[in-house]
Amino acid sequence: MERMASEEKDGSLNSSVAQAIDNAASLEIDQPTESTMSSGKKVDKNSEVSFQAKSKKLLSSLWEKIIGFKRVVQEKSFRFCRGGDELEQARVYHFWPGNNVFFFKGRLICGPDPKGLILTAIAISLSSWTFAVHVASDIRNPAIIVTSSILTTVVLVNLVYVSTIDPGIIPRNDLGTIDAGKRRRRSRVVVINGIEVKLKYCNICNIYRPPRTCHCATCNNCIQEFDHHCPWIGHCVGLRNYRLHVTFLLTGLLLFAFIFIFSCKSLHHKLPGDGNGVIGLLRNDPETVALTLFSFVAMCFLAGFSCYHVYLIAINQTSYEHFHQKYVSSGNPYDKGILNNIKEALLASQPPSRVNFRADVEPGWFGGLSDISIK
């Protein structure tokens, strides 16, 4: 009996061992081995690399087709551009990729939004007209009317000039002419007066920006010695119109200070003797009160900006450079001393425009390809 029990026990043990071996074998079959998993990873990685390579090749060929299509369109449309009832030769300003607006066949170049320029011109003209009608006529001094008229004319001429001139637009480059290897380098370093300056690559204009150049998002152009995009003139302020901008600020300050002083004098004479004071002035002469308040606000605004730009001229920095603290750690390579900085900003000859917007368009032209000299 004991022998039979032991045999049964051995048989059950053998059967359980056999079942365990079968389970292990099935587990080996179901689960991949380490070598199988590593080979699978290699296959997945290779397929991923091949997919990325194919995607890059596809995108590159698609971009080349887009550039080719653009050139074909330009070559077919460059010859003539319809203007009125006649056909005229297509010029650069017809195809300029920036957001600028051109007038008088490319002779005047403005920013994309003229609302600020129009409001500024209306505010100056309306202030001068109100002063002539309600203030100067009461003082009855012809010299005051003549002086205010001259100042108004000078301010408006400066306003028109600073908002219709090329601020220093840098010519663009054709992406198809730039080597792909060079495009990978996002910046270059040049040495100016012993200080290293980084030149960033502009992805929109496809150029390495010259020193002190920045791309204006509003006008969609790279501007040399970019100061800021002024909403009051609706245009960029850069190398070629910065002097005009400072002149506009100073002459505007003189005009509104002149208006404010004589408006206060007129209000003093018009004060009612019944003790009503300001309420009596508002009832009897609201135009002069409004003109006095507006001229005071404009005078403070222009005085602040004028002092700030005089300071920037003295240290030879732009508003953009000063706001972003460009030379805190490295020092300013353009600082030549206060007198030389003022002479450079106000007395140096104005450089010519880098882009001839009235030039005839040639086949293959794109954005005014030009060599950029770095000073």
- Return all residues near 367 (Cβ < 8 A) that are at least 6 apart: 96, 97, 171, 172, 173, 174, 205, 206
73 to 9, 78, 80: CA distances (angstroms) = 93, 8, 12
- Sign of the dihedral defined by the CA atoms of residues 62, 67, 72, 77, in that order: positive
- Who wins on pLDDT, 122 or 358? 122
CB-based contact 225:242 (threshold 8 Å): yes
State the pLDDT at residue 239. 93
Q: Locate tokens 């129009």: which residue?
A: 118
369 touches 170 (CB < 8 A) = no
**Range from 100-104, 153-157, 206-210 that averages highest in pLDDT:** 153-157
Among 8-12, 159-163, 175-179, 321-325, name the one with the lowest average pLDDT. 8-12
- The closest of 213, 214, 211, 170 to 192, measured between CA atoms, is 211
- Choose between 211 and 328: higher pLDDT: 211
Is residue 232 within 8 Å of 120, Cβ to Cβ? yes
pLDDT in tens, 309-357: 999 999 999 999 999 988 888 888 999 999 999 999 988 888 899 988 8
Q: Which two tokens stand for residue 262?
A: 């004589």
Q: Is the pLDDT of residue 7 over 50?
A: no
Q: What is the pLDDT of residues 250-305, one digit of tens each?
A: 999 999 999 999 998 888 877 765 556 667 677 777 888 899 999 999 999 999 99
Q: What is the per-residue pLDDT for 252? A: 96
Label residue 40 exposed, middle or buried (CB < 10 Å: 0-12, 13-18, 19+): exposed
The structure tokens listed for 292 are: 């006095």
Chain centre to alpha carbon of residue 160 = 21
What confidence tier does 187 reach under pLDDT thresholds 50, 70, 90? confident
- Please count the other Cβ atoms lying within 10 Å of the Cβ belonging to residue 367: 22
Pairing of β 235-237 and β 228-230: antiparallel
Specify whether the CB–CB gap between 348 and 95 falls below 8 A. no
Tokens 């290779």 locate to 46
- Mention every residue, 6+ apart, whose C-beta is less than 8 A from residue 283: 276
**pLDDT value, residue 63:** 54
335: tokens are 């600082």
Q: What is the rounded CA–CA span in Å between residue 242 and residue 23?
A: 86
Q: What are phi and psi of 224, to 5 degrees?
A: -75, 135
pLDDT for 136 = 80
Query: Could you list the active site residues?
Result: 230
pLDDT digits (tens, 9 = 90+) for 352-369: 999 888 888 765 555 444
| Coil, strand or helix at 198 | strand
pLDDT, residue 350, reads: 85
Single-letter amino acid code for the residue at 341: N
Q: Strand, coil or helix: what is 206?
A: coil
